[in-house]
């Protein structure tokens, strides 16, 4: 059903449709809208930070507000922008790529989204209710325990709720990939984006619970008087750092691996060549994920863990360079000997390679523990992680959006605007962050509200701020492009890019049941194989028959709303007991919805064979 | 497209020029001009890793540029389908093995330096300073010498000085980029690191772990003087008599005003270990007021009258009744006269 | 192909919990979920181990733990795991009544465990003044053991909801996976308790 047709039914029905949807393609739209909204918000926060730092001893915003800005910028970008945007792409594409009609748990898929959304809204409510969190996105204790406003409480509850959503989403993808691959789609025939979705979901599954525990401990200390981080009662603030980074380092790979997946689709398609060293790419992905769990303490080289721990974690971290290097060279080898088309999607992929290589290089440099004593918590680190997260993840998201936009929305994004946007962003990005490596080494620590005059830091900061404006313009151009495309965009065929994988074997946008008949997969790049064999389309693996579909439900929305209300209760019950009522009401709504869900049988419905036959191909 | 590219090149050129103009940053602050043992140790690894990584980057960039130029789709090739290569054992082995070798080249000196900088075997033979990190100032206590000071840390050149660091509130991190890398200052355990300055100088120190609104204003100095000067400074500091009356009347008023306003409940003059607030023994020789303002009377008066406007979130705000201009002026006069030693930041040269 | 027919076949398959795609998904999803739960408890155990000696002058584990009660609790929970295995055995034989009987016993044992735990906490608080707030050790102890207790409460609610809901409809391919996943979850809780018994109580008592 196209969006235009839905609008004819009236806005109310359209809204209700999205509130209750369990269709992975519509949930993908929701994730993109939610993540996009928070991306803009995080971007604005970044602008505030850079404007404050345009000149020495500037007083554009106050010290307290500045701390809130960078805390919210980091938290928003990681949890509420980058991850949801990637989850959006995964939702939109992965089930199509493996030839599935839906995900394993459509209901939970919807619940995952709404939990994320309500968690994000809860966190951002803090801006209007006495102040946002102000202890950095890492919220190191005991600073975060002692923070006087409710900001950190919003951080704790907001992330707890949205984190639960992410965890649910991860489990859903894992099960979907294990049980719902189309006939013939073996693991070693899965497109790399599906592989990275799989590995990322594993990372989510094993990393997020550590954050959950950390957040609980912080919550108990702040709200219920426990003593985990209270030194006077024997507490230990370093526990938080361990828990946070046991989660936090895999989190970095949760962000970058799906981006790697996107590039592994975009580069072969536009080089008209099979991905070079597919097997090595799969194992490199798994190896990166595995190593990702053993390196968390490299964020803690200066904590005083001792030389043995520092040396071990330094070497483990350096080891990650090897599988990452394999990936970079395999992408280059994919391009080598190909026939390269450069359009917007491919431009983002091409921009990624040198940018991310710099980020990877500084990553290895940071791994050298003694060198890190200088880099740690300086602008060098800021430059490094922006090179990997912007140069890797954000570039990946843009590449993915340009590449799959026609598949997701049935329109092709405007190429001209896409290219201008890319170049502005690319230049702005390097202007902003390259010089920050030097600022860090020249003695500028991160999270500094002001830098002093006469410390040789003025020019660098000025250039950095100018770059930010270019990126902001580029982001605006992308928004204009979306609107322009929605109004005037060209409508694509099912397969506008001469694609290689299953998502291009069906119409754009796909029908709500995805595949009329499940396709038979005969190898890696299944659609390409059929094209080379001269058939040009997939062979069905089953006769046309009834298709089982799940029912929509408002319960995920209701549950998330319940937790949202309870969140407010938890935050404010420290001020007045009456707020306990909000906890009861909120938890009542949430648990009540769960009870309804488990007591009411929901078998879904069937699309009959006759109906499917009537639908045009 | 060409015109665009031209403009981009221009912008890039400009920014590169700016980097060169800015050079390596301000001397005695930048880590790029190391003047101490730890900073040199870090710098060696920074240089080594940069060289290795630049080599990798050049290789990647060359392959990348050649691939884009050579294999870009050409006119009349719209239907050309390249050979679908699965991979190459040989190539893939090469780009697995070479990075392993490069990483090993970096790993060995890293491990060696990590253990070297953590060496505490000769600790008791050297000067030991107990460092306390506070929101937003630093306290230095010379345990064996029974000397207390804050904000300005005096050390002799060419000698290891062990810093035993602990925080009184939240986590801080002590960083003197030109002399040594940083180490966290935790509330629950003591962290030890040693610093050693190669030449005399006043080095900028910074807090490198977010500790609240005035995190960026928690600067301090390390003043490296010759060993003889250091000995003299210690002796001078030890002989301070906190009860000593200042010479002129204004300063005497200032001392009285400080007593009247209970300043000395938190601050100490002399070797008293009371360090709720910074020790004031050699306040007149301090390089900076409140960590970052030039030492002059006007700045000090401003600071005393309204600390919050100068260091948001500091703990002195509201600890004493509002001072009159006159009181503040006399206190400033008294404090600026506290110069017990001839060894001052000027003794360290620059 | 109606639901009633497909979910209530003439003869139940050997493994009714995995006979449908939905069932397989539930089964696998719960396994993954338990993987995440393992990390959750590992983090709590790590925290507890780091803080177990941080008594801040208050009572230590050695002072307060009584192994008799804890041993009884262990027996209750281990037995309840066994009875849930019997229930699953009867599920595979399509004997709904016996399945419910054994699940009832499981619930009864679980409630017994919970009652002991509540008594245990009450005893620590009133007799030793040992609370969640008294020291970092207290916080870590109550959080670890309390999280486990919370899981028992959730498991019991799940079980009771299932039993009430399906009391009159009997076993079918729609609810069989629900029973089965519950039993998996219950085993997991049991395993966690074995670790708590060892790490918290035995190691705490021995010192």
- Domain at B48, CATH number: 1.10.287
Lowest-confidence range among A362-366, A547-551, C46-50?
A: A547-551
Collapsing DSSP states into helix, strand and coil, what is residue A60?
coil
Answer whether B85 touches A (CB < 8 Å). yes
Query: What confidence tens digit (pLDDT) does each residue in A290-335 have?
Result: 999 999 999 999 999 999 999 999 999 999 999 999 999 999 999 9
Helix C176-196 and helix C21-51, axial crossing angle in degrees, nearest 10: 10
Query: What are the phi and psi torsion angles at B213 (to 5°)?
Result: -55, -40
DSSP A354-420: HHHHHHHHHHHHHHSHHHHHHHTTBHHHHHHHHHHIIIIIIHHHHHHHHHHHHHHHSSBPPHHHHHH
Rounded Cα distance, A133 and A105, in Å? 34
Is the pTM value of this prediction over 0.80? yes
| Same domain? B136 vs B96 | no
Residues in B touching A354 (Cβ below 8 Å): 57, 60-61, 64
Cβ pair A157, A219 in contact under 8 A:
yes
Predicted pLDDT of residue C14:
80
Nearest CA in chain A to B88: A277
Rounded Cα distance, C169 and C163, in Å? 10
B256 assigned to some structural domain:
yes
B4 assigned to some structural domain:
no
CA A517 to chain centre: 32
Question: How close does chain B come to A394, measured CA to CA in Å?
Answer: 21
| Same domain? B287 vs B186 | yes
Rounded Cα distance, B149 and B141, in Å? 6
Strand B293-294, strand B288-289: pairing: antiparallel
Predicted pLDDT of residue A533:
92
Residues in A touching B170 (Cβ below 8 Å): 140, 142-143, 146
Locate A517 and state its tokens.
Answer: 């008949």
Q: What angle do CA B100, B103, B105 make, to 5 degrees?
A: 110
A374-409 core/surface letters (b: 16 or more CB in 10 A; e: else): bbbbbbbbbbbbbbbbbbbbbbbbbbbbbbbbbbbb
Cβ within 8 Å of residue B119, ≥6 positions away: B194
The answer to whether the Cβ–Cβ distance between A450 and B313 falls below 8 Å is: no
CA distances to A365, A452, C66, C120 from C200, in Å: 42, 52, 12, 14
The answer to whether the Cβ–Cβ distance between A445 and B216 falls below 8 Å is: yes
Predicted pLDDT of residue C68:
93
| Same domain? B246 vs B313 | yes
Collapsing DSSP states into helix, strand and coil, what is residue A468?
helix
Q: Which of A359, A431, A444, A452 to mutate to probe the B interface, most B CBs <10 Å?
A: A452
Fold of A22-553+602-614: Cytochrome C Oxidase; Chain A (1.20.210)
Predicted pLDDT of residue A6:
47
Cβ pair A561, A582 in contact under 8 A:
no
Three-state SS annotation for chain B: CHHHHHHHHHHHHHHHHHHHHHCCCCCCCCCCCCCEHHHHHHHHHHHHHHHHHHHHHHHHHHHHHHHHHHHECCCCCCCCCCCCCCCCHHHHHHHHHHHHHHHHHHHHHHHHHHHHHCCCCCHHHCEEEEEEEECCEEEEEECCCCEEEECEEEEECCCCEEEEEEECCCCEEEEECCCEEEEEECCCCCEEEEECECCCEEEEEEECCCCCHHHHHCCEEEEEECHHHHHHHHHHHHCCCCCCCCCCHHHHHHHHHHHHCCHHHCCCCCCCCCCCCCCCCCHHHCCEECCCEECCHHHHHHHHHCHHHHCCCCCCCCCCCCCCHHHHHHHHHHHHCCCCCCCCHHHHCC
Count of pairs with CB atoms under 8 A, one residue in A, one in B: 317
Residues in C touching A227 (Cβ below 8 Å): 56, 133-136, 138-139
B:113-142 residues touching chain A, CB 8 A cutoff:
113-115, 117-118
Cβ pair B31, B39 in contact under 8 A:
yes
Q: For residue A578, count CB atoms less than 10 angstroms from its CB and return exposed for 0-12, middle for 13-18, buried for 19 or more.
A: exposed
Q: How many CB atoms lie within 10 A of CB C11?
A: 6
Task: Choose among B96, B169, B312: nearest Cβ to A322.
Answer: B96
The answer to whether the Cβ–Cβ distance between B19 and A460 falls below 8 Å is: yes
The answer to whether the Cβ–Cβ distance between B187 and A231 falls below 8 Å is: yes
Q: How many CB atoms lie within 10 A of CB C22?
A: 19
The answer to whether the Cβ–Cβ distance between B186 and A238 falls below 8 Å is: yes
The answer to whether the Cβ–Cβ distance between A234 and C39 falls below 8 Å is: no
Question: How close does chain C come to A104, measured CA to CA in Å?
Answer: 6
Res. A93: pLDDT tops 50: yes
Rounded Cα distance, B126 and B128, in Å? 6
Q: How many CA atoms lie within 13 A of C4 on its CB side?
A: 1
Query: What ipTM, to 2 d.p.?
Result: 0.94
Answer whether B51 touches A (CB < 8 Å). no
Question: How close does chain B come to A256, measured CA to CA in Å?
Answer: 19
CA distances to A116, A123, A229, B216 from A217, in Å: 21, 18, 8, 28
Predicted pLDDT of residue C91:
92
Cβ within 8 Å of residue B160, ≥6 positions away: B37, B122, B126, B127, B194, B195, B196
Pick from A327, A311, A17: which is nearest to A196 by CA?
Answer: A327
Cβ pair A260, A285 in contact under 8 A:
yes
Collapsing DSSP states into helix, strand and coil, what is residue A431?
helix
Task: Choose among A172, A228, A246: nearest Cβ to C139.
Answer: A228
Q: Which of A274, A302, A464, A533 to mutate to probe the B interface, most B CBs <10 Å?
A: A302
The answer to whether the Cβ–Cβ distance between B204 and A460 falls below 8 Å is: no
Cβ within 8 Å of residue B97, ≥6 positions away: none
Res. A145: pLDDT tops 50: yes
B78 assigned to some structural domain:
no
The set of chains that have 3 or more CB pairs under 8 A with A is B, C
Q: Which residues pair with B288 in a beta bridge?
A: B294
Query: What confidence tens digit (pLDDT) does each residue in B248-285 have?
Result: 899 999 999 999 999 999 999 988 888 899 999 999 99
Res. A610: pLDDT tops 90: no
B13 assigned to some structural domain:
no
Residues in C touching A603 (Cβ below 8 Å): 3, 7, 174
Structural domains of chain C sorted by starting position, each given as residue range(s) with its CATH number in brackets: 16-206 (1.20.120.80)
The answer to whether the Cβ–Cβ distance between A441 and B31 falls below 8 Å is: yes
Q: Which of A304, A327, A346, A534 to mutate to probe the B interface, most B CBs <10 Å?
A: A304
B64 assigned to some structural domain:
yes
Res. A394: pLDDT tops 60: yes
The answer to whether the Cβ–Cβ distance between A377 and B72 falls below 8 Å is: no
The answer to whether the Cβ–Cβ distance between A603 and C55 falls below 8 Å is: no
A:403-462 residues touching chain B, CB 8 A cutoff:
423, 427, 430-431, 434-435, 438, 441-443, 445, 447-452, 454-457, 459-460
Cβ pair B165, B192 in contact under 8 A:
yes
Q: How many residues in chain C?
A: 207
Going by the DSSP 8-state scheme, the letter that residue C53 receives in this structure is T
The answer to whether the Cβ–Cβ distance between A64 and B312 falls below 8 Å is: yes
The answer to whether the Cβ–Cβ distance between A364 and B215 falls below 8 Å is: no
| Same domain? B107 vs B137 | no
Residues in B touching A438 (Cβ below 8 Å): 19, 22, 25
B284 assigned to some structural domain:
yes
B101 assigned to some structural domain:
yes
Task: Choose among A146, A449, A456: nearest Cβ to B26.
Answer: A456
Q: How many CB atoms lie within 10 A of CB A135?
A: 26
The residue among A352 and A4 whose pLDDT is bigger is: A352
B24 assigned to some structural domain:
no
Domain count, chain B: 2
- Domain at B272, CATH number: 2.60.40.420
B:159-198 residues touching chain A, CB 8 A cutoff:
169-171, 173, 175, 177-178, 180-184, 186-189, 191
The answer to whether the Cβ–Cβ distance between C25 and A105 falls below 8 Å is: yes
Question: How close does chain C come to A504, measured CA to CA in Å?
Answer: 26
Q: Which residues pair with C40 in a beta bridge?
A: none
Predicted pLDDT of residue A524:
93
Nearest CA in chain A to C53: A234
Query: What confidence tens digit (pLDDT) does each residue in A449-488 have?
Result: 999 988 989 999 999 999 999 999 999 999 999 999 999 8
The answer to whether the Cβ–Cβ distance between A339 and B96 falls below 8 Å is: no
Answer whether A171 touches C (CB < 8 Å). yes
Nearest CA in chain C to A103: C25
| Same domain? B56 vs B141 | no
Question: Which residue ranges in chain C fall short of pLDDT 70?
Answer: 1-6, 207
The answer to whether the Cβ–Cβ distance between C44 and A235 falls below 8 Å is: no
| Same domain? B180 vs B44 | no
CA A124 to chain centre: 18
Mean pLDDT over A63-83 rounds to 97
Question: Residue B66's domain spans which residues?
Answer: 33-72+85-119
Cβ pair A335, A271 in contact under 8 A:
yes
% of chain A exceeding 90 in pLDDT: 91
Strand B201-207, strand A605-607: pairing: unpaired
| Same domain? B241 vs B342 | yes
Query: What confidence tens digit (pLDDT) does each residue in A211-232 have?
Result: 999 999 999 999 999 999 999 9
The answer to whether the Cβ–Cβ distance between C51 and A167 falls below 8 Å is: no
Rounded Cα distance, A551 and A572, in Å? 37
Question: Which residue ranges in chain B fall short of pLDDT 70?
Answer: 1-23, 350
Predicted pLDDT of residue B293:
94
Rounded Cα distance, A25 and A43, in Å? 26
Residues in C touching A198 (Cβ below 8 Å): none
């Amino acid at each position: 059903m196209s969006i235009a047709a839905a609008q004819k039914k009236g806005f109310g029905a359209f809204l209700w449709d999205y509130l209750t949807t369990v269709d992975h393609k519509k949930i993908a739209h929701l994730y993109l809208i939610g993540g996009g909204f928070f991306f803009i918000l995080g971007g604005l926060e970044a602008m505030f930070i850079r404007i404050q730092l345009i000149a020495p001893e500037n007083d554009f915003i106050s010290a307290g507000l500045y701390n809130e800005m960078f805390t919210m910028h980091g938290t928003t970008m990681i949890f509420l922008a980058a991850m949801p945007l990637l989850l959006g792409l995964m939702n939109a594409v992965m089930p199509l790529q493996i030839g599935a009609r839906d995900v394993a748990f459509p209901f939970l898929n919807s619940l995952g989204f709404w939990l994320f959304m309500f968690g994000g809204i809860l966190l951002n409510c803090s801006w209007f209710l006495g102040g946002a969190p102000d202890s950095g996105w890492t919220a190191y204790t005991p600073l975060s325990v002692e923070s006087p406003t409710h900001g950190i409480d919003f951080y704790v509850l907001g992330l707890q709720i949205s984190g639960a959503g992410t965890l649910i989403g991860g489990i859903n993808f894992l099960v979907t990939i294990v049980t719902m691959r189309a006939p013939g789609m073996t693991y070693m025939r899965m497109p790399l984006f599906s592989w990275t979705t799989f590995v990322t979901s594993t990372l989510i599954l094993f990393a997020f619970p550590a954050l959950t525990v950390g957040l609980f401990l912080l919550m108990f200390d702040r709200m219920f008087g426990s003593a985990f981080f209270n030194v006077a009662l024997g507490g230990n603030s370093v526990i938080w750092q361990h828990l946070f980074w046991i989660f936090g380092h895999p989190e970095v790979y949760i962000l970058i691996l799906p981006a790697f997946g996107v590039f592994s689709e975009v580069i072969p398609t536009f080089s008209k060549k099979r991905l070079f060293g597919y097997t090595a790419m799969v194992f490199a992905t798994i190896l990166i994920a595995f190593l990702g769990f053993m390196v968390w303490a490299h964020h803690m080289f200066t904590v005083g863990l001792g030389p043995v721990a520092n040396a071990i974690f330094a070497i483990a971290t350096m080891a990650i360079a090897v599988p990452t290097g394999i990936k970079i060279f395999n992408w280059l080898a994919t391009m080598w000997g190909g026939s390269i088309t450069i359009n917007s999607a491919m431009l983002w992929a091409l921009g990624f390679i040198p940018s991310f290589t710099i980020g990877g290089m500084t990553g290895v440099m940071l791994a050298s523990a003694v060198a890190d004593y200088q880099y740690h918590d300086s602008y060098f680190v800021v430059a490094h992680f922006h090179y990997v997260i912007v140069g890797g993840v954000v570039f990946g998201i843009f590449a993915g959006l340009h590449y799959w936009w026609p598949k997701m929305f049935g329109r092709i994004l405007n190429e001209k605007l896409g290219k201008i946007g890319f170049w502005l962003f690319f230049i702005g990005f390097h202007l902003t962050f390259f010089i920050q490596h030097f600022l860090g080494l020249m003695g500028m620590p991160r999270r500094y509200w002001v830098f002093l005059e006469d410390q040789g830091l003025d020019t660098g900061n000025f250039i950095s701020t100018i770059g930010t404006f270019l990126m902001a313009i580029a982001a605006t151009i992308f928004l204009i492009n979306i609107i322009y495309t929605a109004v005037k965009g060209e409508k694509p065929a099912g397969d506008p890019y001469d694609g290689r994988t299953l998502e291009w074997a069906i119409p754009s946008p796909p029908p709500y049941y995805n595949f009329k008949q499940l396709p038979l997969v005969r190898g890696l790049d299944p659609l390409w194989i059929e094209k080379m064999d001269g058939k040009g389309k997939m062979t069905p693996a089953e006769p046309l028959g009834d298709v089982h579909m799940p029912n929509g439900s408002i319960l995920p929305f209701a549950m998330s709303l319940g937790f949202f209300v309870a969140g407010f209760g938890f935050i404010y019950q420290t001020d007045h007991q009456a707020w306990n009522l909000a906890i009861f009401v909120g938890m009542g709504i949430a648990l009540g919805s769960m009870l309804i869900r488990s007591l009411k049988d929901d078998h879904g419905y069937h699309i009959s064979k006759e109906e499917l036959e009537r639908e045009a191909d | 497209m060409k015109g665009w590219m031209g403009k981009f090149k221009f912008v890039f050129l400009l920014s590169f020029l700016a980097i060169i103009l800015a050079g390596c940053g301000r001397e005695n602050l930048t880590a790029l001009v190391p003047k101490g043992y730890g900073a040199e140790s870090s710098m060696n690894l920074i240089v080594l890793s940069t060289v290795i990584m630049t080599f990798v980057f050049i290789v990647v960039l060359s392959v990348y540029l050649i691939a884009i130029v050579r294999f870009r789709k050409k006119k009349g090739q719209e239907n050309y389908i390249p050979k679908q290569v699965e991979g190459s054992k040989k190539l893939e082995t090469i780009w697995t093995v070479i990075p392993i070798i490069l990483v090993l080249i970096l790993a060995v000196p890293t491990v060696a330096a990590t253990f070297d900088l953590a060496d505490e075997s000769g600790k008791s033979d050297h000067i030991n300073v107990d460092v306390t990190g506070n929101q937003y100032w630093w306290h230095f206590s010379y345990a064996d010498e029974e000397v207390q000071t804050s904000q300005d840390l005096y050390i002799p050149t060419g000698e290891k000085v062990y810093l035993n660091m602990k925080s009184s509130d939240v986590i801080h991190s002590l960083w003197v980029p030109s002399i040594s890398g940083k180490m966290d200052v935790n509330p629950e355990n003591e962290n030890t690191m040693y610093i050693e300055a190669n030449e005399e100088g006043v080095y900028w120190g910074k807090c490198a772990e977010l500790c609240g609104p005035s995190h960026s204003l928690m600067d301090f100095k390390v003043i490296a003087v010759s060993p003889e000067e250091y000995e003299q400074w210690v002796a001078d500091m030890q002989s301070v008599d906190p009860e000593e009356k200042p010479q002129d009347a204004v300063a005497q008023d200032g001392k009285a005003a400080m007593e009247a306003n209970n300043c000395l409940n938190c601050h100490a003059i002399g070797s008293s270990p009371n360090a709720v607030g910074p020790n004031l023994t050699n306040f007149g020789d301090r390089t900076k007021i409140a960590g970052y303002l030039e030492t002059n009377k006007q700045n000090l008066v401003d600071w005393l009258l309204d600390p919050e406007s100068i260091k948001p979130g500091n703990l002195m705000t509201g600890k004493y009744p509002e001072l009159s201009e006159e009181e503040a002026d006399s206190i400033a006069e008294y404090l600026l006269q506290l110069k017990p030693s001839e060894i001052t930041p000027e003794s360290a040269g620059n | 192909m109606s639901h009633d027919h497909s979910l209530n076949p003439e003869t139940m398959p050997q493994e009714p919990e995995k006979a449908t795609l939905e069932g397989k998904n539930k089964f696998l999803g719960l396994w993954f979920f338990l993987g995440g739960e393992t990390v959750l408890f590992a983090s709590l155990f790590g925290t507890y181990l780091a803080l177990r000696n941080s008594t801040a002058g208050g009572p230590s584990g050695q002072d307060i733990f009584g192994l008799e009660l804890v041993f009884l609790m262990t027996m209750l929970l281990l037995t309840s795991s066994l009875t849930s295995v019997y229930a699953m055995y009867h599920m595979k034989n399509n004997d709904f009544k016996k399945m419910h009987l054994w699940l009832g016993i499981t619930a009864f044992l679980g409630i017994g465990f919970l009652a002991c735990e509540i008594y245990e906490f009450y005893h620590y608080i009133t007799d030793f003044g040992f609370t969640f707030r008294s020291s970092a050790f207290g916080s870590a102890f109550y959080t670890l053991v309390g999280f486990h207790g919370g899981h028992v409460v959730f498991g019991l609610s799940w079980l009771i909801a299932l039993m009430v809901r399906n009391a009159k409809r009997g076993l079918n391919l729609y609810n069989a996976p629900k029973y089965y996943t519950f039993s998996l979850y219950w085993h997991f809780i049991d395993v966690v308790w074995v670790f708590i018994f060892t790490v918290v109580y035995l190691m705490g008592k021995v010192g």
